[in-house]
Structure 1
Amino acid sequence: MKATVSWSKELQFIGESSSGHQILMDGDGAKAAASPMEYVLMAAGGCSSVDVISILSKARQQVSDCKVNLEAQRADSTPRVFTHIHLEFVVSGTDLSEKHVARAVQLSMDKYCSVSLMLGKACEISHSYRIEAA
């Protein structure tokens, strides 16, 4: 996997993945785009969501929506690394099995989500889930 990050202007940068997708990052208080740390946090939510939806689909669960609310605390001094991240999965659907949702979230957090597993080596990560009817 490769990527490039190019300076655009002020403290704004354009990241481009090897697959050709681009994102704008803003290091100046996230005025024009998300900050790099916000993207890292969102990457944890995106990576784990892919796992949860994939696992639930294979279990033939009727999922209509999946959202992850993420909250992170950062160190007070430089470097302002994450010290704790909490992921709350909100899964909606029809006749969802709590057993399947719990298993999907646990498998993502313990085995499949590369981003969360990597971040977990540097900070504490916790998770929870909620099931809502569609």
Structure 2
Amino acid sequence: MRAVIRWQGAACFEGESGTGHRIVMDGPPDHGGENRGPRPMETLLVGLGGCSSFDVIHILRKARQDVTDCRCEMAAERAEDEVPAVFTRIHLHFVVAGNNLKENQVRRAVELSAEKYCSASIMLARGGVEISHSYEIETPAS
């Protein structure tokens, strides 16, 4: 896996993945940024949520669950008054909607992502970040 980060001036950077996708990251105005994109640590958090959400959907589809929607609501805490201001806690809450979803399948999908499949989550947990997960099941809107 490869990536290239290019400085765009001030506190703005453009990241390009090895597959050619680009994302703009920027700092806050008090650090010389212009708020043109998410902060780099925000992209890390979003990447974690995307990685885990990918797993949950993949596992549920493999289990032949009729998923119609899934969102991962995340809350993170960072070390205060420390440099580096690393993540100390992250909570991922999955809200899964579908037709006749089996609660045990949703629970198992979240557990498997957390314990076995989500590279980002496991890497951060091994680095000392306290990561927790929860879920709820919604009935799809008519």
TM over 0.5: yes
Return the match for 2:73 from 69, 72, 83: 69
Flag as ranges the 4+ runs of structure 1 deviating above 6 A.
none
Partner of 1:91: 96
CA RMSD of aligned residues (A): 1.0
Partner of 2:48: 44
- Matched position secondary structure for 1:78: coil
- CA drift of 1:28 comes to 2.5
User: How many residues are treated as equivalent by the alignment?
Assistant: 134
How big is each residue's C-alpha offset from its partner over 1:9-40, in whole Å with a ceiling of 9 and x where there is no partner?
11000000111000000122571110010000
Give TM-score, length-normalised by structure 2. 0.92
Partner of 2:131: 125
- CA drift of 1:91 comes to 0.3
Structure 2: segments with no counterpart, 5+ residues: none
1:102 aligns with 2:134: no
How big is each residue's C-alpha offset from its partner over 1:94-115, in whole Å with a ceiling of 9 and x where there is no partner?
1000000000000000000001
Give TM-score, length-normalised by structure 1. 0.97
Query: What letter matches 2:49 in structure 1?
Result: G
Identity %: 53
1:9 aligns with 2:9: yes
Question: What is the CA–CA distance in structure 1 between the aligned matches of 2:46 and 2:76, rounded to whole Å?
Answer: 11
How big is each residue's C-alpha offset from its partner over 1:108-130, in whole Å with a ceiling of 9 and x where there is no partner?
00000001111112210001000
